[in-house]
Amino acid sequence: MSAVASLREIQERVIDANRSGAPLRLRGAGTKDFYGERLEGELLDLRSHRGVIDYEPSELVITAHCGTPLSEIEALLAAHGQFLAFEPPAFAGDPTIGGVIAAGLSGPRRLQVGAARDFVLGAKLVEASGEELSFGGRVMKNVAGFDVSRLLCGSLGFLGIITEVSLKVLPRPRCEQTLVLRLSSQDALAVFNRWGSLPLPISGAAWVEGSAWVRLSGAPPAVRAACQRIGGDSVDAVGAADFWGGLRHCTHRFFDDSTIWRVSVPSNAVLEPGEKLLIDWGGALRWYAGEAMGARARTLASGVGGTAMCWRGQTVQPRFHPLSKTVAQIHRRLKQHFDPRVIFNRGRLVAVETGA
Amino acid sequence: MPPELNPHPAHTAEPPWSDPDRRLSPAAAQAVVEALRTLLPADAVLSSQQELHPYECDGLTAFRQIPLAVALPRTEAEVREVLLTCREHDVPVIARGAGTGLSGGAMPHPCSVVLSLARLNRILDIDPVARTARVQPGVRNLEVSEAAAPYGLYYAPDPSSQLACTIGGNVAENSGGVHCLKYGLTVHNVLGIRAYTIDGESIELGGGALDSPGLDLLALSIGSEGLLLVVTEVLVKLVPRPALARVVMASYDDVGKAGDAVAAIIAAGIIPAGLEMMDRKASVAVEPFVKAGYDLSAAAILLAEADGTPDEVTEEVSEVERVLRAAGATAIAVSSSEQERLRFWSGRKNAFPAAGRVSPDYYCMDGTIPRKNLGHMLKAIEEMEERYGLRCMNVFHAGDGNLHPLILFDANRSGEWERADRFGAEILELCVQLGGTITGEHGVGIEKINSMCVQFSPRERTAFFSIKEAFDPHGLLNPGKAIPTLRRCAEYGKMHIRHGALPHPDLPRF
């Protein structure tokens, strides 16, 4: 049996694993099995530890057990006119909220509202000893103790099992409009950066296949004024949902390619256009498809102060951008303290770990 | 009952310098000062009692301690040399910005070197296209916005002390301000830092690109109160200045109603640029000094700011007015000019100085609670005022549930500070009990270290020490702050019981 329903069962599995030294592979719905350096260990399916614990729309906070499906949380928020503004990717499935935070990925709205980690208010962690620790809370501002709950966002199980999260939610924008303009990738980057320094309610700025796509979200007068300023052709609601959903969930046909690099750079960085390029986050995220770019992506990104990860295809090790020496040493020491026998997601976030 | 737990994987010893009573031999102390003098110019090392005096405390003046020496480096290389020297001599390092902190985070240890970053005060680069500013830690918060103003940009976090406080200090405390409900805290507005470890290794976290590989050590470092790294450069995000801002001021005859009005605004799908509340005691105290035109008959005043394009602001203001009226506002005023907007805000921003004028001393608290418990908290504070025999005026960042009760006392009257201290601790314990936290934006420092024993279990505090050890294995960076040792918590527990006033015996964590 790999499924665990209660906290107690999770703790027992951890205690057993820490005793025997046999690693655990933490998993929610498995939508991100492709993500990270490697998968190792006995499966620990966390989907049964589920359920929304607390949600009060006027507090702008939702708290849920790690196994709660994203679809359940989004439906509950939608019923109150709210949403997870960082637009976590679901890929082609229905991830758990624990998996969403453990991966820490964010969708196209990041350029306006911030990333997954910006919405994490609190988290509970089952550490290698089996004890459940609580960090952060359910309030907007909290500087008591180190910000461990944000540290857990994107940690891919490095420090332990995220068993509960509290997230800030936002009201859905009252008005939204998408525009499309025929532009070269260079021109698109130039206008994205120019518009970014103006008080315009831009919640999406992407470029693919010769077209720039701009999404405006906010109060109706602000959206109307911005539409006039930006120009281009209006896209209907269905077409807009289709396009931004395709970017958010990586289901756009661009992502069909067998090799994909994800390159994170300053939004105004000049990189070679590449043959198959998709730009998101107003220029701060560049996706390259096909083997032509290959490992050169890493050199190019480093050259402009960015990072590149091999999202899919090619046998590049490590897949994530390598850490600097000092940063890697801090990772090793944290692992030594939190998980000395390396039972949690061995080798998934960072290849360099303390010897088990 | 939870299953039987494994023994903790890695025993973390309590860092020796957490002990405020530990001392160096006079010869060892002299050697530290001499070593600093060989590295830095004469004006960059202070060691006489007279020179050290201004560094004995920060904005929390109730806690004071003269350090061993103060180092005032001008360059990153000098910062590194100071760190290496302190490491070599095994003495603590207290990083310090402008010293405006309110939790004693920059209060020295008697054997410490205070590392002032005030002379690293240059704005290195403003990139109007990428909308970023690269600044040294000693640059003042407001200076960044002033330098970005020609491009129509500004730096969003605006703590009330923004005229004086530094970006480095803001990073250490994860500072907020009155606009953070909409624009976020320091952690949401800093893209990257460059810093040094106690071993003199340089480290870059985050940067101009949004994603970084590995753990989010940038988020961890922000708000770490000088316990992990010494920051030497900060890359901040600049945002476009809204075309217009207007503020709606509403009066309520009951603080509970005002609290409900705040919830009603959020429930209507509005996130105002600022959403603040003052009780009558606060508005009565500030009005004679700022002449903001506050309604002194109101039990509570709410300030809600709308910003954006002129059309957008007009629409939001009328929506906010509608919601506030429906929630029982007895009077409403809307700012009609920028001058009037600033006047409405002036009282709120000057609440602390006003408290200093109406009372010889005041003690500012900083707990955060879920907004729905605001009414409950205010009633409890009223009851505590009676019990402790002290007055308390209340200002809140109501939008995010962050309370700043100001306990008024006179330190020259025997027992008043001790009563104020206990009054404050009781407010913080109630914050934890109501599902909140002991500090929203001022930090733990030395001030709230005992209250940390209430909010976190021994295992959680051990996890904090593990993190500190991963960055600072020798325990030299700001020791004794932010995280209480197990021994300290044990003593705090005993003290509480001895006073016979354990305020919330049903607290699950105690």
| Residue boundaries of the structural domains of chain B | 16-116, 123-240, 244-352, 359-498
Task: Tell me yes or no: is domain B359-498 CATH 3.30.70.2740.
Answer: yes
Strands B113-116 and B93-96: parallel
C-beta of residue B192 within 8 angstroms of C-beta of residue B205: yes
Per-residue pLDDT of chain B (510 residues; tens, 9 = 90+): 445 554 444 445 577 898 889 999 999 999 999 999 999 999 999 999 999 999 999 999 889 999 999 999 999 999 999 999 999 999 999 999 999 999 999 999 999 999 999 999 999 999 999 999 999 999 999 999 999 999 999 999 999 889 999 999 999 999 998 888 899 999 999 999 999 999 999 999 999 999 999 999 999 999 999 999 999 999 999 999 999 999 999 999 998 899 899 999 998 999 999 999 999 999 999 999 888 999 999 999 999 999 999 999 999 999 999 999 999 999 999 999 999 999 999 888 888 888 888 899 999 999 999 988 888 898 899 999 999 999 999 999 998 899 999 999 999 999 999 999 999 999 999 999 999 999 999 999 999 999 999 999 999 999 999 999 999 999 999 999 999 998 889 888 766 543 334 443 333 322
**Contact B146/A at CB under 8 A:** no
pLDDT of residue B487: 87
- One domain for residues A81 and A130: yes
Give the minimum alpha-carbon distance from A179 to chain B in angstroms, rounded to a whole number.
20
Is residue A296 included in any domain, yes or no? yes
**Contact B478/A at CB under 8 A:** no
Fold of B244-352: Alpha-Beta Plaits (3.30.70)
pLDDT of residue B11: 45
- One domain for residues A42 and A95: yes
Longest pairwise C-alpha distance within chain B: 71
Note whether B12 contacts A174, CB cutoff 8 Å.
no
Of B188, B202, B452, Cβ closest to residue A144: B452
Q: Which of A292, A299, A295 lies closest to A310 in space, CA to CA?
A: A295
Chain A environment of B130 (Cβ under 8 Å):
193, 266-268
- One domain for residues A153 and A224: no
Is residue A277 included in any domain, yes or no? yes
Chain A environment of B188 (Cβ under 8 Å):
114, 118
Spell A34-43 as b/e; 16+ CB within 10 A means b: ebbbebebee
- One domain for residues A273 and A205: yes
Of A18, A57, A151, Cβ closest to residue B215: A151
Note whether B210 contacts A140, CB cutoff 8 Å.
no
A73, pLDDT greater than 50: yes
Chain A environment of B267 (Cβ under 8 Å):
57-58
Note whether A139 contacts B440, CB cutoff 8 Å.
yes
Contacts (Cβ under 8 Å, ≥6 apart) of B214: A320, A323, A327, A328, A331, A349, A350
Residue B433: in which H helix or E strand, if any?
A: helix B416-433
CA closest to B464 among chain A residues:
A146
pLDDT of residue B5: 53
pLDDT of residue B349: 80
- Report CA B393 to chain centroid distance, whole Å: 19
Return d(Cα B336, Cα B342) in angstroms, integer.
11
- One domain for residues A188 and A254: yes
Residue B135: in which H helix or E strand, if any?
A: strand B132-135
Chain B stretch 79-118, residues whose beta carbon is closer than 8 A to a beta carbon of chain A: none
Return d(Cα A157, Cα A27) in angstroms, integer.
9
Among B188, B210, B224, which would you mutate to test the A interface (most chain A Cβ atoms within 10 Å of its Cβ)?
A: B210
pLDDT of residue B9: 44
Are B123-240 and B244-352 the same fold in CATH? no
Q: Can you state the angle between helices B280-290 and B351-358, rounded to 10 degrees? A: 90
Return d(Cα B224, Cα B280) in angstroms, integer.
35
Return d(Cα A191, Cα A183) in angstroms, integer.
10
pLDDT of residue A5: 75
Q: Which of A206, A200, A243, A242 lies closest to A218 in space, CA to CA?
A: A200
Is residue A319 included in any domain, yes or no? no
Note whether B370 contacts A138, CB cutoff 8 Å.
yes
How large is the C-alpha radius of gyration of chain B? 23
Angle at B334 between CA B328 and CA B339, to 5 degrees: 145
- Mean pLDDT, all residues of chain A: 94
For chains A and B, count residue pairs whose Cβ atoms are closer than 8 Å. Answer: 306
Per DSSP, the residues of B271-328 read --SEEEEEEHHHHHHHHHHH-----TT-SEEEEEEEEESHHHHHHHHHHHHHHHHHTT
Q: What is the mean pLDDT of residues A154-159?
A: 98
For position A123, which CATH number holds? 3.30.465.10
Return d(Cα B82, Cα B95) in angstroms, integer.
11
CA closest to A106 among chain B residues:
B211
The backbone torsions φ and ψ at residue A336, rounded to the nearest 5 degrees and listed phi first, read -60, -40
Chain B environment of A139 (Cβ under 8 Å):
368-370, 400-402, 435-437, 440
- One domain for residues A121 and A207: no
User: How far, CA to CA in Å, does B63 sit from each of B60, B66, B338?
Assistant: 6, 11, 40
Secondary structure E strands in chain A: 24-27, 42-45, 52-56, 61-65, 82-83, 120-126, 132-136, 161-168, 170-171, 175-182, 202-208, 211-218, 233-235, 260-264, 277-280, 285-289, 307-312
Give the minimum alpha-carbon distance from B29 to chain A in angstroms, rounded to a whole number.
30
Decide: residue B11, CB within 10 A, 0-12 exposed, 13-18 middle, 19+ buried: exposed
Cis before residue B150, ω within 30 degrees of 0?
Answer: no
Is residue A200 included in any domain, yes or no? yes
Of A110, A197, A325, Cβ closest to residue B128: A197
Amino acid at A195: W
Domain count, chain A: 2
Contacts (Cβ under 8 Å, ≥6 apart) of A1: none
Return d(Cα A226, Cα A234) in angstroms, integer.
12
Amino acid at B373: N
Q: What is the pTM of this model?
A: 0.95
User: How far, CA to CA in Å, does A110 sit from each of A144, A252, B54, B397?
Assistant: 27, 18, 44, 26
- One domain for residues A162 and A273: no
- One domain for residues A90 and A137: yes
CA closest to A327 among chain B residues:
B203
Return d(Cα B320, Cα B343) in angstroms, integer.
20
Chain A environment of B173 (Cβ under 8 Å):
143
C-beta of residue A332 within 8 angstroms of C-beta of residue A353: yes
Return d(Cα A116, Cα B45) in angstroms, integer.
44
Give the minimum alpha-carbon distance from B15 to chain A in angstroms, rounded to a whole number.
15
Give the minimum alpha-carbon distance from B111 to chain A in angstroms, rounded to a whole number.
24
Give the minimum alpha-carbon distance from A145 to chain B in angstroms, rounded to a whole number.
6
Return d(Cα A110, Cα B393) in angstroms, integer.
39
Among B131, B183, B216, which would you mutate to test the A interface (most chain A Cβ atoms within 10 Å of its Cβ)?
A: B216
Decide: residue A234, CB within 10 A, 0-12 exposed, 13-18 middle, 19+ buried: exposed
- One domain for residues A37 and A146: yes
Per DSSP, the residues of A54-117 read EEEGGGTEEEEETT-BHHHHHHHHHTTTEE-TT----TTS--BHHHHHHHT---TTHHHH--GG
C-beta of residue B308 within 8 angstroms of C-beta of residue B316: yes
What is the ipTM score, two decimals?
A: 0.97
Decide: residue A316, CB within 10 A, 0-12 exposed, 13-18 middle, 19+ buried: middle
For residue A179, the SS3 value is strand
C-beta of residue A39 within 8 angstroms of C-beta of residue A27: no
pLDDT of residue A57: 93
B16-116 CATH: 3.30.43.10
Chain B stretch 289-348, residues whose beta carbon is closer than 8 A to a beta carbon of chain A: 308-309, 311-312, 314-316
Return d(Cα A19, Cα A22) in angstroms, integer.
8
Domain that holds residue A79: 7-171+333-338
Return d(Cα A297, Cα A288) in angstroms, integer.
8
Q: How many other C-beta atoms lie within 10 A of the C-beta of residue A200?
A: 21
Q: Which two tokens stand for residue B162?
A: 């923004």
How large is the C-alpha radius of gyration of chain A? 21
Of B176, B216, B435, Cβ closest to residue A151: B216
C-beta of residue A89 within 8 angstroms of C-beta of residue A18: no
B123-240 CATH: 3.30.465.10
Is residue A324 included in any domain, yes or no? no
Of A143, A324, A331, Cβ closest to residue B215: A331
- Report CA B352 to chain centroid distance, whole Å: 14
- One domain for residues A184 and A304: yes
Q: How many other C-beta atoms lie within 10 A of the C-beta of residue B459?
A: 15
**Contact B507/A at CB under 8 A:** no
Chain A environment of B458 (Cβ under 8 Å):
none
Is residue A345 included in any domain, yes or no? no
